[in-house]
Amino acid sequence: MSNSYNKPVLPKADSKKVSIVVDGADVEVPEGTNLVEALKTIGIDTPHFCYHQDLPVAGNCRQCMVETDGPRGMGLAIACYTPVRPGMKVATDRSSEKVKTARKAVMEFLLANHPLDCPICDKAGECTLQDNYMSSGKHESRMREEIGKQYKGAPEHRHLDAKGQDRGGKHIDLGPTVILDQERCILCDRCTRFMRDVAGDEQLYIAARGDHAFITTFPGQPLQHDYDLNVTDICPVGALTGKHFRFQQRVWLLSKTETIAPDDSLGANITVEHHDGHVWRIMPRRHPDVNKSWISNATRLLYQTLSENRLTGGSFRGADVPLADAVERARELVHGARKVALVASGHLTLEDNAALLALAESLGSRAEVFGGSWLAVGAPDGIARSGDPVANRLGCTLLGISDNLSDLVRRAKEFDCLVVAGHDLWAADAERAKSLSVIPERIALSAWHDATAQASTLAVGIRAWAEVRGSMINVQGRIQRLQAAPTAPTPDLEPAWQVISRLGHLGWTSEVDAFRFAQGRIPALSGLNYRTIGSQGRILEGVAP
Amino acid sequence: MATLTVTQNFGKGARDLEVYRSLGGYGSISSRLFDLSQFELIDLVSRSGLRGRGGAGFPTGMKWSFVPRNSGKPVYLVVNADEGEPGTFKDHVLMQEDPHRLIEGMIVCGWALGVRTAYIYVRGEFLPAIETLNAALKQAYAAGLLGKNIGGSGYSLDIYVHRGAGAYICGEETALINSLEGFKGQPRLKPPFPAVSGAFASPTCVNNVETLMALPWILEHGPEAYQALGTPKSGGTKVFSVSGDVKRPGVYEVPMGTPLMELLESPELCQGIVGELKGVIPGGSSSPVLTAEEARKANLDYEALAALKTMLGSGAVVAFNTERSAVGMLTSLTRFYAHESCGQCTPCREGTGYADRIMKTIASGKGREGDLDHMLDLAANFSYTTICPLAIADAWPIENFIGKFRPEFEAEVAKNPDRGSPRVTKDFRPGAFW
């Protein structure tokens, strides 16, 4: 297979342009890219199944056919494996009947053996087979019962259905996270290429050959990898589905909010998908320089915590209190204290931490800010995690917050009030956190009933990461935006910066106030705003370590 | 008796090295070969008009000239002995009868391309041939004809026999290379072609057994003599595997351009047809079939058969008489290609199976009007849209059997009393609801 490792060349902002002729019109496209990408830059979508920007080209689905000029005149070629040549002639389905026929034929071939069980398929609504049928197929089936289908499936999963038909494999449990439906598979080879090329652990393969080939794991072996759920995203049909999302929600009901993963300092770009105030899944959002098209299973399953164990009000000395009362009491405690320790958090946004700094400023010498984390830092996995669980660590450092939690532990007796914002110190290291219990008034701003909230004297509920607007700076020195999904468990919950603003009478009315404060502390942020940061973030000059 | 260039040692016990030598074998492993530069040798092969005998008929000298010399990587020679086309069995017999001629041919090719390591990829089912080859290799190594410093020339070559696992598609050169490397035998995307990046991502020359076995004769007698045996454009001789309804099926070597009927009817060759000739498949099961009338006009060379819209292929001639059913033959062929599709490209994977199931439906008396046109449409749609030509190898028989024997297929469909029924019995289209 040494030759199949051809990664596609993707257009870049500074790619040199060459002119080619598409459907008779002269156009400028990036040089060296394949035709799928080149045509995309001029607004022509080429239907395809097996091609994926972040996987080696396999060229087996044959759906992306175009005509190109060669030594023997115009002829069919796959767009995903044909590089742009200056002056080349390309005909798409807009001008070539041959291309139209070829694409339609591929649709007919794929659907001939497909079970067509869209009504019970989770992929329906975001299925490439459905999309491409609408764009290139629209044929009437010529299949009939006597001819019959060749359902795909391993011998041990073949079965007779209620009508007595020989069927393939349905709902096969591949491992802890993924379910396989061999019948629906169109053998595009994306999942096996992902496991081989991205995950680096070839757990899936195509067994047998011809139309009786099927995807499977090695005998007795599960599909089990930190990134294995990505195969469910790249599967163009409903063959691979994640156990966490099966039969949960129809995808056309879901609204999408673009944000970033809060559990790792690479800040993988994600989309939070919600319906009716509830988050149903997290999907990767492609960023060529951050996480490509991948996210780890841990990041993907984070949404489950958004509806579990949430702190929706306040709690004072073990008794539930209304949120407004809790905030008011916190304000009184902070202002009545002799000396306040404020613990910032790399799990919160720049805006939240800026608010904490502004609060400290307003309290003057009575307040001191501490930062850092007790969580263990691992090594980058080369896919979509840096290994550092503190997402906004670099942001905190740039704001001037030092890594000095150990100082706080040593000098705990000096303080009579502790404010911990979005930072579960007691879960990270209960032993060390215990010494903070000498501080008589411990206020926790937390989205969850976590260990710190329980160890505090006053807990104040705040919004979780998926519900706030703001920004974080990832390990590459890239500032990226978080957007708010309308999924907070109660509408009263406020983001941490807003609660802190109330504690310090800062009078901030939106995240923009907090961001402006952060700009005052971080020169590299000058001139930026949320719009210019955009959905792909911005590299800050000279801040990456 | 015509001049034989490849099969002259048949029946003489030449699989033994001493016998082979006594018949003039390994004569080219001398100054005759080693005094030639690589360029002179490639030029000599080009002048002989030798073309690839595996099926495609690509000029051998030109193929060799595509192999880069200074890539910094080793050059591999891979012998394609994965003879799998239904009707073809000449390579099996060639390796069985005269293994040393193959080794000698490989040394010649190896010298031309600077090859140090060569593989013989033998079809898995050819166990006797593999044993014969291994025994011959052992003898050749012992005699200093392989290994380091062959015949004192300073040239070294190692040959390994690799046993395939039984897939027709591994006869396609890039699938063969994948299989050789230990991967699933599936054709690769091209470019790069094997000449540039083949086995182990290095320049690789893949040649058929018969092609290489012609080299010793060409070296001995000169390229012009070889060219003169055939027609101006198709030089030399060709080995044919003849099977089917002939009196004496077998492997025959005849000069290029020999009339097809001479091969089938000559008393020295096949000795005539059993029954009345209905048609001939001239170049392996994938080549378009010829009717008896066309077969009588056909000459066995690349150009003459191309003019009849068929091909010489690997030289597998299958003759059949009027008792054979075209429906039955096509059903066998579609089953073969559906079974052997590697499953990589959609049109071939799903299309060959689809066509096979329609064919089975027709053959079982359940065919309907329109099924034949449906078959032809499918065949047209899976031709020329895939990585390798396996789909075309299925499409050609479909198009030609149905095209040339259509009344037989229509008679088969006519056996179904429900042949005119509408395709769907219940109207279950969305339009029925809204």
Give the domain-ending residue among B321, B352, B379: B321
Q: Least CB-CB distance to A3: which of B169, B188, B340?
A: B188
Regarding whether B234 and B219 lie in a shared domain, the answer is no
Band (pLDDT 50/70/90 cuts) for residue B433 is very low
Give the best residue of B178, B181, B350 to mutate against chain A (max A CB count within 10 A).
Answer: B350
Contact between residue B14 and residue B93 where contact means Cβ atoms under 8 Å apart: no
Q: CATH number for the domain including B103?
A: 3.40.50.11540
Q: Least CB-CB distance to A187: which of B338, B340, B343?
A: B343
Structural domain includes residue B4:
no
Give the best residue of A130, A144, A145, A166 to mutate against chain B (max B CB count within 10 A).
Answer: A144
Regarding whether B406 and B296 lie in a shared domain, the answer is no
How much is the pLDDT for B347? 97
Contact call for A210 and B338, based on CB within 8 A: yes
Which residue of chain B has the CA closest to A144?
Answer: B423
Regarding whether B344 and B197 lie in a shared domain, the answer is no
Q: At A25, which helix (H) or strand (E)? A: strand A25-30
How much is the pLDDT for B432? 43
How many Å lie between the alpha carbon of A288 and the closest alpha carbon of chain B?
25
Contact between residue B201 and residue B192 where contact means Cβ atoms under 8 Å apart: no
Band (pLDDT 50/70/90 cuts) for residue A165 is confident
Strand partners, A180: A172, A240
Q: Could you write out the three-class secondary structure of chain B?
A: CCCCCCCCCCCCCCCCHHHHHHCCCCCCCCHHHHCCCHHHHHHHHHHHCCECCCCCCCEHHHHHHCCCCCCCCCCEEEEEECCCCCCCCHHHHHHHHCHHHHHHHHHHHHHHHCCCEEEEEECCCCHHHHHHHHHHHHHHHHCCCCECCHHHCCCCEEEEEEECCCCHHHHCHHHHHHHHHCCCCCCCCCCCCCCCCCHHHCCEEEEEHHHHHCHHHHHHHCHHHHHHHCCCCCCCEEEEEEEECECCCEEEEEECCEEHHHHHHCCCCCCCECCCEEEEECCCCCCCCEEHHHHHHCEECHHHHHHCCCCCCCCEEEEEECCCCHHHHHHHHHHHHHHHCCCCCHHHHHHHHHHHHHHHHHHCCCCCCCHHHHHHHHHHHHCCCCCCCHHHHHHHHHHHHHHHCHHHHHHHHHCCCCCCCCCCCCCCCHHHCC
Q: How many structural domains does chain B have? A: 3
A110 contacts chain B (CB < 8 A): yes
Regarding whether B100 and B206 lie in a shared domain, the answer is yes
Q: Roughly how many angstroms between the first and final C-alpha of chain B, as a whole number? A: 78
Give the domain-ending residue among B195, B227, B259: B227
Give the domain-ending residue among B264, B289, B321: B321
Band (pLDDT 50/70/90 cuts) for residue A7 is confident
CATH number at A17-112: 3.10.20.740
Rounded to 5 degrees, φ, ψ at B258 are -65, 135
User: Domain span at residue B70?
Assistant: 17-227
How much is the pLDDT for B1? 57
Q: Could you write out the three-class secondary structure of A435-491?
A: HHHHCCEEEEEECECCHHHHHCCEEEECCCHHHCCEEEECCCCEEEEECCCCCCCCC
Average pLDDT over residues A263-286: 97
Average pLDDT over residues A510-524: 96
Rounded to 5 degrees, φ, ψ at A215 are -85, 140
Task: Evaluate if residue A2 carries a pLDDT over 50.
Answer: no
Q: Least CB-CB distance to A3: which of B189, B351, B424?
A: B189
Percentage of chain B exceeding pLDDT 70: 97
Q: Roughly how many angstroms between the first and final C-alpha of chain A, as a whole number? A: 39
Cα–Cα separations (whole angstroms), residue A263 to A133, A296, B31: 39, 10, 73
pLDDT digits (tens, 9 = 90+) for A427-483: 999 999 999 999 999 999 999 999 999 999 999 999 999 999 999 999 999 999 999
Q: Least CB-CB distance to B350: which of A65, A81, A113?
A: A113
How much is the pLDDT for B217? 96
A118 contacts chain B (CB < 8 A): no
DSSP-derived secondary structure letter, A137: I
Task: Evaluate if residue A377 carries a pLDDT over 80.
Answer: yes
Task: Evaluate if residue B421 carries a pLDDT over 80.
Answer: no
A21 contacts chain B (CB < 8 A): no
Instruction: For residue B184, list chain A residues with Cβ-Cβ distance below 8 A.
Output: 206
Q: What are the residues whose beta carbons fall under 8 Å from the beta carbon of B113, sequence distance 6 or more?
A: B38, B64, B67, B75, B77, B205
Structural domain includes residue B124:
yes
Regarding whether B332 and B415 lie in a shared domain, the answer is yes
Regarding whether B185 and B67 lie in a shared domain, the answer is yes
Write down the mean pLDDT value for chain A: 95
Regarding whether B67 and B211 lie in a shared domain, the answer is yes
Regarding whether B341 and B311 lie in a shared domain, the answer is no
Regarding whether B238 and B282 lie in a shared domain, the answer is yes
Regarding whether B92 and B235 lie in a shared domain, the answer is no
Return the number of other C-beta atoms located less than 10 Å from residue B180's C-beta: 22
Contact call for B354 and A109, based on CB within 8 A: yes
Contact between residue A443 and residue A452 where contact means Cβ atoms under 8 Å apart: no
A394 contacts chain B (CB < 8 A): no
pLDDT digits (tens, 9 = 90+) for B314-357: 999 999 999 999 999 999 999 999 999 999 999 999 999 999 99
Percentage of chain B exceeding pLDDT 90: 90
How many Å lie between the alpha carbon of B371 and the closest alpha carbon of chain A?
9
Band (pLDDT 50/70/90 cuts) for residue A97 is very high
Give the best residue of A1, A2, A74 to mutate against chain B (max B CB count within 10 A).
Answer: A2
Write down the mean pLDDT value for chain B: 93
Regarding whether B370 and B271 lie in a shared domain, the answer is no
How many Å apart are CA B95 and CA B106, to the nearest integer?
Answer: 13
Tokens 């502004």: give the residue: A358
Q: CATH number for the domain including B417?
A: 1.20.1440.230
How many Å lie between the alpha carbon of A307 and the closest alpha carbon of chain B?
40
Average pLDDT over residues A322-345: 96
How many Å apart are CA A120 and CA A246, to the nearest integer?
Answer: 10
Task: Evaluate if residue B424 carries a pLDDT over 80.
Answer: no
Structural domain includes residue B2:
no
Average pLDDT over residues A285-307: 96
Which fold is adopted by the domain A117-128+152-247? Alpha-Beta Plaits (3.30.70)
How much is the pLDDT for B425? 47
Size of interface A-B (CB pairs under 8 A): 116
Task: Evaluate if residue A176 carries a pLDDT over 80.
Answer: yes
Average pLDDT over residues A505-522: 96
What is the β-pairing status of strands A441-446 and A417-421? parallel
A298 contacts chain B (CB < 8 A): no
Give span(s): CATH 3.40.50.740, chain A: 312-466+488-530
The token pair that represents A311 in the structure block: 């702190």
Structural domain includes residue B341:
yes
Contact call for B385 and A106, based on CB within 8 A: yes
Q: What are the residues whose beta carbons fall under 8 Å from the beta carbon of A163, sequence distance 6 or more?
A: none
How much is the pLDDT for A461? 97
Q: Could you write out the three-class secondary structure of A209-269?
A: CHHHCEEEECCCCCCCCCCCCHHHHHCCCCCEEECCCCCCCCHHHCEEEEEECCCCCCCCE
Task: Note the ipTM here.
Answer: 0.92
A27 contacts chain B (CB < 8 A): no
pLDDT digits (tens, 9 = 90+) for B225-279: 999 999 998 899 999 999 999 999 999 999 999 999 999 999 999 999 999 999 9
How many Å apart are CA B151 and CA B19, to the nearest integer?
Answer: 19
Structural domain includes residue B366:
yes
Instruction: For residue A186, list chain B residues with Cβ-Cβ distance below 8 A.
Output: 346
Instruction: For residue B383, list chain A residues with Cβ-Cβ distance below 8 A.
Output: none
Task: Evaluate if residue A275 carries a pLDDT over 70.
Answer: yes
Band (pLDDT 50/70/90 cuts) for residue A73 is very high
Cα–Cα separations (whole angstroms), residue B311 to B50, B258, B303, B314, B418: 17, 14, 8, 9, 39
Task: Evaluate if residue A200 carries a pLDDT over 60.
Answer: yes
Looking at per-residue confidence, does A283 or A542 come out higher? A283
Instruction: For residue A211, list chain B residues with Cβ-Cβ distance below 8 A.
Output: 338, 341, 343, 349-350, 352-354
Contact between residue B149 and residue B143 where contact means Cβ atoms under 8 Å apart: no
Task: Evaluate if residue A44 carries a pLDDT over 60.
Answer: yes
Task: Evaluate if residue A198 carries a pLDDT over 90.
Answer: yes
pLDDT digits (tens, 9 = 90+) for B87-133: 999 999 999 999 999 999 999 999 999 999 999 999 999 999 999 99
pTM of the model: 0.94
Instruction: For residue A208, list chain B residues with Cβ-Cβ distance below 8 A.
Output: 343
Which fold is adopted by the domain A312-466+488-530? Rossmann fold (3.40.50)
Which residue of chain B has the CA closest to A148?
Answer: B357
Half-sphere exposure of B124 (CA within 13 A, CB side): 11
Structural domain includes residue B211:
yes
Cis check: omega of the bond before B86, within 30 degrees of 0: no
Regarding whether B421 and B357 lie in a shared domain, the answer is yes
How many Å lie between the alpha carbon of B140 and the closest alpha carbon of chain A?
32
A165 contacts chain B (CB < 8 A): no
